[in-house]
Structure 1
Amino acid sequence: MPTESYLELSKNPIRFEALLNKFNNVFFDEANKQIFVVRSGGVMGVSVKGPDPDTNLNFRLEDHAPIISIKFSPDRHILAVQRSQTSVEFANYNGDGSLSAEYSQSCRKGSKMLGFIWTGPSYVAFITDNGVEPFQVLHERRSVKALKAITATADWFKWNADCNLAILSSGQGTQLQPISFKSGTATKLAKIELGTGRSAADRDVTLALLRGSPAVILLCHGLGGNNCAEVLVYQSPDSGSPMKISHFLRLGYSGKFLINVLDDLIIVHHQASKTSSLFDISLPGDGEGHHLPIATPKSFSPFELELPDKTYVCELYTPSWTVFQPNIIIDAKLGCLWYIELRLESLASHISDIETCVQVLRRRWGGKGVLLRVLHNVISENNPKAAKALEIAASLEPGCIPLEQDDIYKNVLSGLEPEPSLLVAYIRALARRKQQPQHQLSRLLVTTLVRRGKMSDLHQLIRHGAVADSKPLACLLLSLGNVHEGSTQLALDMLARLGAVSEIHEVLFGQDAVLAAAHLSPPPPPRKLLDAAKQDPTLFHALYRNHRSNIPQDHRLLFDKIYSKMFAMIILEDTRL
């Protein structure tokens, strides 16, 4: 079993000032993927870093009160700062490191703010214990306009900007209320009923985009066998329907977990064992929605941080790790933000079942090259599941990498002489896609079958249209006539179906079957018949006597000379008559 890890931390993490004293605070803006380091309430400066170094910022704030949350609008024109549970302060960012005069907005009287989110460049929503209060921020006027609010009880909430969805928890975590946002409009969706005996804590809920649809991922402790934790995935079966449990992920561990969703793979990190498990819910599982990890749980590859005076080997899976979607890990004490990276080559080597491996790779971004190499290897090794793996790879499904015939031929089959059954399985898969095999693929199949003497199989494939008639393929069958004589007849039958009469004439001439060519309808031109019969005086004589009058005058003299040399006495007698 390979020992190399299939997960690694990005080689160049975003470095920020570590959380080493009580005067500094670190915040993360999930929508803009930015780290805010606030020194002494902002008086000593605020530094903002994100994935694009050109958008890194530095500015100062007045220290009115401790900061609870701080975020830029999506276009980074407006800074919002929450310092209390009743209001948010706004300031226009001028682009030169300075902020304009502040303006503020309070939530409804009697409500307590749980947090706020930006739902558009100029739209913000306050999440309170009594519901959702959307606002439009008019930064040019330095004012805020209230929009239609939603009433809902909430203890805590989760927000994911990628799917424009918030989840509000109520009833001590027994009910989850989804709220969708479109700019300044908030819409209440059907509640998620967790089920009898289930409740959700803030730390155990992950909101993510999974296979193009919002998903609530709930970590449940002590539900699995041997008191192990399980992960429940809630998704809507169709647009407008409430979210329901669609998948169960069996972890085999208990303890503290963190969850990321990367490239539609659910990654569950286990602190105690320092390992991560990968789940792909697009696989069938056990048929009832239960899934095991697609590969043996592994730790991240070791990470070394280059410091000015030394190389520091980072401790992995520490209590100071925090994760954000889709693939972010932050260690505030170390001052690093990493992106999780998936090593597909290594992952493929850890998946023992080839069919599962193909299914996993064909759904991963950047998996095409690895998938083609895997297919080439299993075919060259005569893996008994190679035909099925190739058939799976050739099928078309939403969200899967499309492998065209050129991809398969050039990168998988070229240079090999695979089993005919494998090629037939692939061609049948193409037929289900309503595609005919290209010439290079048909050529490989025909050559393989002829060399192995499987003419009856080839005849059946051609008869049922699995291999399309074409002149190049007929020529290939003719060239293989010295390997198996039956291929010549297959070629002639194919040319006949194509109506390629002149090509049939040439084939028969090449076989010295001039008389057979003469009996075809339509027959070859007389000139060609006589030219092909020159080596057989008897046949030439018969054809000359029957077709001389049909030969153009300029060619007739030529054949008269040939005839006179063969039959001088006969031509002389004919002249006297």
Structure 2
Amino acid sequence: MPTCSVSSIIFLALAPNGTNIIPVSYSQAKTLTKLIKFQVDPPGTPTREQLLEKYVTPSVLYGNTCILILHHPAQSSTHNSSGSQIVIYTVHRLLQTTRKTHILHLQCSGFFQISTIDNLILVHHQGSSSTLLFDIGSDSDSLDPVNIKPMIKPMPMKPCIVDLPGQEPFQCPLYSANWVIFQPNIIIDAFLGFLWYVDIDLSILCELDIPTEKLVNFLLRRKTEKALPLLIKVIEDITDPCKEPKHDLKVISQVFDLINTAYRKQLNKLAQPHIGTPAGQLTSQPTVIKDTGPEKIVVDEQTMCSNIFSKFSEKKNLPNYNGEFGIKVILEYLRSLNDLQIPFQDLNNLLIDCLLREKHGLSRLHNLLQYRVLPDSKSLACLLLSLKNIYPPALQLSLDMLKRLGNADDEIMEILLHKKLILPTIRFARNADIINQLSARKFLEAAQETNDPTLFYSVYKFFEQSNQRSKGITNFSDSVLCQSFVEHMKNLFPEENKSLNNQKRVLR
């Protein structure tokens, strides 16, 4: 009667041979819920068709309760290269059903013991003194069982050496017949009296010849504290603009799609409690999402910028730096974000920094902006504004972007005023229906700094008329602090001041 304490499920094997199993869920409220009975295949040995407890391992993998059953090949089929198998039956709580989902091909026969850690299945083979590694994580929706082979070649455990007082270091025998295994990852040597916790060194897998896409997908399913640094190292290695030979952009594209698909899922989860909130207002950090499934790594834009793309600038002075490759990598990442409809901001500055160091980089930047590859933002508009001296079209690009944003009237007017385009600024304010919000002092000061009497006169008269419309008088109130500009107007146009005084005498 195997029990999975993590998921609180008892598996009851029914007579006569134990292949009919009833999962029973129990709770702290002392209630039992019987799930639908299912039938498993017998172990397959010719002398024993009965399913014994030693062939059964209950576990929780990727948030699902599973029961792993070891099958040995019949003697008549020992020539079968697949050897023994582990068949996995997965319990679906919502449907209250259990079905065969995976078949692990061990490719050897003999005595096996099973440990599970970090949603990985470790199968210890006594005959070869090695351990096989299986990962059942996949997005397959097939109703048929998925056949899975070991992810890497069988490898032995790290030797365990114990320092004994007054004696030479003692090396514990591994894969001993005295081992007793408890789930998920405890091994006890009943003869020596030692207890171990099994762990896995993921960094070793990064050194093996595993396809990059497969390795990244594998690391994305591991726990953050272990796998995130390794995942960043793998991404940094394939995107390094100084490394030769360069990795295939197609592989890099697939890697970006993998990490951004996980990122998109995180944004969807965050958006559920905030229905109606624009995606651009949702922020995220490198995080672990906890749900009914496993902990999941999320590599967001901020993580990529701080750990990967920002290092491009640090390497720009190295002799083997390939800026063109760096730009292609960033553009490929942008493509992946756009395809998955993920908003981004931090990447703009890094991309522009790379473009500015390359020949024809500004014209390429112009094209990216025209085709809206880069999203509009105030920060990007301000960055473009800073380029106006080396690339004059950047000013118009900045203004166009601010106009598209629709909430940047103040920024547009500041830009125009900074360029001493005073009358165009007033016309823009009139079109935006914010003419009454203008500061007379700011505009008169800007007009005075141009040393253009005609321009100053036009601006001064505009605000006089504005005063007349809003207050019924042309005079500036003391609160706007424009007395110095009134005196300046008198000095520039004394004849108009005399005419005004004569009009006042006639009125008297």
TM-score over 0.5 for the alignment? yes
Contiguous gaps of at least 5 residues in structure 1: 1-156
1:197-228 Cα shifts (integer Å, max 9, x gaps): 95544322211122222211112223894251
1:362-391 Cα shifts (integer Å, max 9, x gaps): 222222333233323332255332343233
1:207 counterpart residue number: 58
Secondary structure of 2:65's aligned partner: strand
2:412 counterpart residue number: 504
Matches within 5 A, 1:37-186: 157-169=1-13, 170-182=15-27, 184-186=30-32
Match of 1:413 among 277, 294, 309: 309
1:470-520 Cα shifts (integer Å, max 9, x gaps): 2x2211111133454333222111222344334323323444544543543
Contact kept? 1:351, 1:357, Cα under 8 Å: no
Kindly indicate whether residue 172 of structure 2 is the aligned counterpart of residue 314 of structure 1: yes
Contiguous gaps of at least 5 residues in structure 2: 266-292, 314-324, 465-475, 477-481, 503-508
| TM-superposed deviation, 1:444 | 2.1
Kindly indicate whether residue 147 of structure 2 is the aligned counterpart of residue 290 of structure 1: yes
Amino acid at match of 2:388: G
CA distance in 2, matches of 1:197, 1:313: 35
Kindly indicate whether residue 236 of structure 2 is the aligned counterpart of residue 392 of structure 1: no
1:228-248 Cα shifts (integer Å, max 9, x gaps): 122211103452433111012
Kindly indicate whether residue 454 of structure 2 is the aligned counterpart of residue 542 of structure 1: yes
Amino acid at match of 1:277: L
| TM-superposed deviation, 1:264 | 0.8
| TM-superposed deviation, 1:542 | 3.0
1:96-119 Cα shifts (integer Å, max 9, x gaps): xxxxxxxxxxxxxxxxxxxxxxxx
Amino acid at match of 1:202: E
Contact kept? 1:159, 1:165, Cα under 8 Å: yes
Aligned CA distance change for structure 1 residues 245 and 485 (closer, same or farther; 3 Å): farther
Aligned CA distance change for structure 1 residues 311 and 251 (closer, same or farther; 3 Å): same
CA distance in 2, matches of 1:337, 1:279: 24
1:461 counterpart residue number: 372
CA distance in 1, matches of 2:56, 2:371: 57
Alpha-carbon RMSD = 3.6
CA distance in 1, matches of 2:92, 2:392: 58
| Bigger relative contact order, structure 1 or 2 (CA pairs below 8 A, ≥6 apart) | 1
Contact kept? 2:253, 2:336, Cα under 8 Å: no
Stretch deviating more after TM superposition (361-370 or 166-175): 166-175
CA distance in 1, matches of 2:497, 2:487: 17
CA distance in 2, matches of 1:562, 1:460: 52
Contact kept? 2:43, 2:70, Cα under 8 Å: no
Aligned CA distance change for structure 1 residues 179 and 345 (closer, same or farther; 3 Å): same
CA distance in 2, matches of 1:361, 1:330: 29
| TM-superposed deviation, 1:432 | 7.8
Q: Which has the higher helix share?
A: 2
Amino acid at match of 2:381: A
1:307-348 Cα shifts (integer Å, max 9, x gaps): 121201122112222211100111111211100012122233
Aligned CA distance change for structure 1 residues 558 and 167 (closer, same or farther; 3 Å): same
Amino acid at match of 2:125: H
1:50-105 Cα shifts (integer Å, max 9, x gaps): xxxxxxxxxxxxxxxxxxxxxxxxxxxxxxxxxxxxxxxxxxxxxxxxxxxxxxxx
CA distance in 2, matches of 1:255, 1:510: 82
Contact kept? 1:423, 1:445, Cα under 8 Å: yes
Contact kept? 1:260, 1:267, Cα under 8 Å: yes
CA distance in 2, matches of 1:241, 1:484: 66
Contact kept? 1:285, 1:291, Cα under 8 Å: no
2:210 counterpart residue number: 352
1:113-142 Cα shifts (integer Å, max 9, x gaps): xxxxxxxxxxxxxxxxxxxxxxxxxxxxxx
1:141-168 Cα shifts (integer Å, max 9, x gaps): xxxxxxxxxxxxxxxx322322222333
Contact kept? 1:294, 1:351, Cα under 8 Å: no
Aligned CA distance change for structure 1 residues 491 and 225 (closer, same or farther; 3 Å): farther
Amino acid at match of 2:39: E
Secondary structure of 2:175's aligned partner: coil
Aligned CA distance change for structure 1 residues 219 and 481 (closer, same or farther; 3 Å): farther
Instruction: Tell me the matched-pair count.
Output: 410
Secondary structure of 2:199's aligned partner: strand
1:118 counterpart residue number: none
Aligned CA distance change for structure 1 residues 323 and 194 (closer, same or farther; 3 Å): same
Amino acid at match of 1:461: R
Aligned CA distance change for structure 1 residues 197 and 323 (closer, same or farther; 3 Å): closer
Contact kept? 1:208, 1:215, Cα under 8 Å: yes
Q: Which has the higher strand share?
A: 1
Contact kept? 2:447, 2:459, Cα under 8 Å: no
